[in-house]
Amino acid sequence: MSVPKDAGWKDVPKAGRILEPGCAAKYETGGWRTYRPVHVPENCINCLFCWIYCPDMSIQVEDGKFRGIDYRYCKGCGVCAQVCPGKRGNKALTMLLDDEAQGKEGETK
Amino acid sequence: MSIRVAKTGNEAVAEGMRQINPDVVAAYPITPQTEIVQIFSSFVANGKVDTEFVTVESEHSAMSATVGAASAGARAMTATSANGLALMWEIVYIAASMRLPIVMPVVNRALSGPLNIHCDHSDTMGARDSGWIQIFSEDAQEAYDNLLQAVRIAENKKVLLPVMVTMDGFIISHAMEVMHLLEDEKVKQWVGEYVPENPLLDVDNPVTVGPLDLYDWNMEHKRQQAKPVILEVARDYAKLSGREYGLFEEYMLDDAEIAIVVLGSTAGTAKEVVKALRADGVKAGLLKLRVFRPFPACEIARALQGKKAVAVMDRSDSFNAVSGPVFAEVRSAMYGMENAPAIVDYIYGIGGRDVTMDHIKSVYDDLAKIVKTGQVEKNLTYLAIRE
């Protein structure tokens, strides 16, 4: 249950209690992001270090392979890019300013 | 039939706790703890209650454990006094903010230092803005009656706030007096079974309590901590016990020209003075404040309207402020009122300094002088102090 932004003090749950389990999924923390990781497929060896380290489970994996990044929750912390070994010294995840990165890679869900 | 007994305030409140039979009591077992918890622990040891009694290493932990138990859905209580309440400070606010209906007897004693163990109201007054409901008692009977009512007030779905029930240290807590206990079964029925709202232990309906609450909602959640239903509970308690309580008690106040506002045991002394003054033809009256939080501002203003001069008795100081805390509230309540009386403040009884009938009489004499001369010489007086 998300509380509408325009709700008054009489209408919100007492003491800020959260009455719906798992509702953090509705809070899209991607809005906090300044930099976004951008995937460079030719450098990816599918080691999945990014998937292991991502604190927000924003790295999506399918059949043991990197599939995409869930930008709804990715806060742009850069841990994935930091741990990425890449191929021959070239990273498979690079951090770009969010605005500049728009369009370079499509939104993945 | 109620049971007529001789009890100290501590014993009376411990008996009340036994009858309430809370699920959890967490308390620090060493001084400044009072006999309340000591007596209650013997009830636990002797199987008189079903309470889970948690002895903790400090009052900070006592209130923390009580908050945890209440969040889980337990009817949880603790008790403290003086510096013990001060050590609870951080969690006292959290208990109110989390809307947990904890009931806590507080034996009013001075905050040190210099080291002192006797009665004044500095401990409770320090917590007056914490969001707790604060109910003061004149004697052991009232402390017992207020304790039982506090459970119903705190747990009322419209309230869900913690309640402090106070009594003056030693004067009430250690003095034995004749009082009436209700039968165990009647209290059990009247207090009823506690049905918590959104408890943590309701595993079928999981909730998060006490989450991070920043600038986007914290102010709304704080605004929610207001205005309870104390009189509703008092009326229901009168049916049970035959004893009636209001937000405050008016003693010979109706036609009074001069009056004092007082909390706690001093009200008893002051009533004797009022009686004596009335016998001499002086129109003296008294307002004994029972509920300090929420402060009944409009009701007090109405009750004091038309009086010629009023003295507020503060048993704690608010150092370097305009006055003691009770005066500040009472005068604010009357600001802008037509026919407002002259109003003065007396700081008295600090650190257990005895307050006698002569002291109170001198306050009424001062008020009579103000009425006669139309002049207020001093807004703030330290009563019976060595200058």
Tell me the CATH number at B190: 3.40.50.970
Could you tell me if A3 lies within 8 Å of chain B, comparing CB atoms?
yes
Dump the DSSP string for B238-267.
HHHHS----SEEEES-TT-SEEEEEETTHH
pLDDT, average across residues B303-309: 97
pLDDT, average across residues B40-54: 98
Q: Which domain holds residue B317?
A: 248-382
- Does one domain contain both B15 and B30? yes
Helix count and strand count (H, E) for chain B: 13, 16
pLDDT at B204: 94
Q: CA gyration radius for chain A?
A: 17
Pick the closest to residue B210 from B196, B195, B198, B202 (CA basis).
Answer: B198
- Does one domain contain both B172 and B261? no
Q: pLDDT-derived band of residue A109, with 50, 70 and 90 as boundaries? A: very low
pLDDT of A105 over the 80 cut: no
Which of B97, B198, B221 is closest, CB to CB, to A19?
B198
Domain boundary residue, one of B241, B262, B297: B241
The contacts of residue A29 (CB under 8 Å, 6+ apart) are: A56, A73, A75
pLDDT at A100: 82
ipTM metric: 0.77
- Does one domain contain both B83 and B164? yes
- Does one domain contain both B281 and B203? no
In order of B147, B176, B355, the CA distances from B362 in angstroms are: 34, 28, 11
Residue B387 is assigned to a structural domain of this protein: no
- Does one domain contain both B40 and B162? yes
In the block, which residue shows the tokens 């990425």?
A: A84
| More confident: B225 or A70 | A70
The contacts of residue B100 (CB under 8 Å, 6+ apart) are: B67, B70, B71, B76, B160, B162
Domain boundary residue, one of B209, B241, B273: B241
Percent of chain B with pLDDT over 90: 91
Q: How many CB atoms lie within 10 A of CB B183?
A: 12
- Does one domain contain both B363 and B340? yes
Lowest mean pLDDT, pick from B81-85, B172-176, B222-226, B333-337? B222-226
Residues of B in contact with A14 (CB under 8 A): 99, 160, 197, 221, 224
Number of domains composing chain B: 2
- Does one domain contain both B142 and B287? no
pLDDT of B227 over the 70 cut: no
Mark which residues 39-58 of A lie under 8 Å from B by CB: none
pLDDT at A103: 64
- Does one domain contain both B93 and B227? yes
Structure token digits, residue A33: 């992001």
Nearest CA-CA distance, residue A9 and chain B, Å: 5
- Does one domain contain both B147 and B277? no
- Does one domain contain both B8 and B141? yes
B351-372 in b/e burial notation, b at 16+ Cβ within 10 A?
A: bbbebeeebbbbbbebbbebbe
Tell me the CATH number at B309: 3.40.50.920
pLDDT of A108 over the 60 cut: no
Structure token digits, residue A15: 């003491």
Nearest CA-CA distance, residue A76 and chain B, Å: 21
Domain boundary residue, one of B190, B214, B241: B241
Pick the closest to residue B348 from B331, B366, B333 (CA basis).
Answer: B366
SS3 A102: strand
Q: Please state which CATH number belongs to domain A33-101.
A: 3.30.70.20
| More confident: B244 or A22 | B244
* CA atoms of B85 and B131, how far apart (whole Å): 14
- Does one domain contain both B139 and B280? no
Pure H helices in chain A = 49-53, 79-83, 98-101
If you ran DSSP here, which 8-state letter would residue A70 be given?
B
pLDDT at B218: 85
* CA atoms of B284 and B286, how far apart (whole Å): 7
pLDDT, average across residues B95-124: 96
pLDDT of A67 over the 90 cut: yes
Percent of chain A with pLDDT over 70: 91
| More confident: A106 or B172 | B172
Are B28 and B80 in contact, with CB atoms under 8 Å apart? Answer: yes
pLDDT of A66 over the 80 cut: yes
Q: How many CB atoms lie within 10 A of CB B151?
A: 25
pLDDT of B221 over the 60 cut: yes
pLDDT at A1: 52
Are B348 and B314 in contact, with CB atoms under 8 Å apart? Answer: yes
Summary mean pLDDT of chain B = 95
CA atoms within 13 A on the CB side of B347: 20
pLDDT tens for residues B125-156? Answer: 999 999 999 999 999 999 999 999 999 999 99
pLDDT of B219 over the 90 cut: no
At B366, phi and psi to the nearest 5?
-60, -45
Structure token digits, residue B164: 């402090």
Mark which residues 8-27 of A lie under 8 Å from B by CB: 8-10, 12, 14-19, 21
User: Which runs of E-coded beta strand occur in chain A?
Assistant: 35-39, 59-62, 65-69, 93-97
pLDDT of B356 over the 70 cut: yes
pLDDT at B344: 98
Percent of chain B with pLDDT over 70: 99
Residue B73 is assigned to a structural domain of this protein: yes
- Angle B59-B157-B87 (CA atoms, 0-180°, nearest 5)? 10
Summary mean pLDDT of chain A = 89
CB pairs under 8 A between A and B: 45
Nearest CA-CA distance, residue A21 and chain B, Å: 6
- Does one domain contain both B221 and B298? no
